[in-house]
Amino acid sequence: MTKTNRVAIVTGASRGLGEVIATVLAERGYHLVINAKMAEPLHRVAESLWNRGVRVVPVDGDITDASKRGRLVDAARDLGGLDLLVNNASMLGRIGPLADFDVPSLGRIMPVNAGAPLALIQLALPLLKERRGLIVNITSDAAHGAYPGWGPYGASKAALELITKTLAAELRDAGVSAVLVDPGDMRTRMHQEAFPNEDISDRPLPDVTVPFWRWLLDQDPQAVSGERFAAQKEDVRWLQQV
């Protein structure tokens, strides 16, 4: 691949972290296929990315919809291939104790946060193998923290973490790499939903992760495959090279 024909898929790209990631990729010359549930904000982001001189295909719709996932991969194929897949789309669900949790709701949270990313990866694998591409799955410290009220969301992210690490091991010989990125607490809509009565203005905006993304894009994917990175915290694996 060359710097002028790299292609990436980014889900959850209509605002917040997903928009930041897509913008960094556009700055690096990646052509983009972006996804989010709502068409209007997604097309707003697409327009801003078009202004950076790259090709952008917005595909709105629920990532748990198999037809939408198919459109994402087809669009990447039409752009020339796939070098990077970023599974950023996520669902918080209700914050509250597990003793009172509506268990059937797991049938929505798990598909969004773990099932859909794996299904999209499976569909994209032929293209990723051709380019020896990289899978980036966005996780959370809730996957390890056992925070009261965050059990279902944390469980879904824990599932995604094991899926990612297993994929990294299984796909190494095929030349496809996979990493986890915990972006940390940020001033986003989803984070505000988790703390509806609190002022979260002390949290940084998602732009705080930009140095990490720039670093990651400069790495040999095989050299970092299987790793879990904290995009805001001091991490000798990447901060010493920024």
Active site residue 153: yes
Helix (H, G, I), strand (E, B) or coil at 8: strand
Q: Which of 121, 182, 186, 131 is nearest to 157 (CA)?
A: 182
Cα(193)–Cα(119) distance, integer angstroms: 27
**What sections of the chain are H helices per DSSP?**
16-27, 39-50, 66-79, 106-110, 116-131, 142-145, 151-171, 189-194, 210-217, 221-224
**Token reading at 82:** 């796939």
The sheet that has 7-10: what strands, in order across it?
56-60, 31-36, 7-10, 84-87, 134-138, 177-182, 228-230
Helix (H, G, I), strand (E, B) or coil at 57: strand
Q: Of the listed 30, 150, 153, 238, which one is catalytic?
A: 153
Cα(99)–Cα(61) distance, integer angstroms: 33
**Residues of the chain by 3-state class (helix, strand, coil), percent to 5:** 50, 15, 35
- Residue 97 is given by DSSP the state -
Catalytic positions, written as ranges: 153
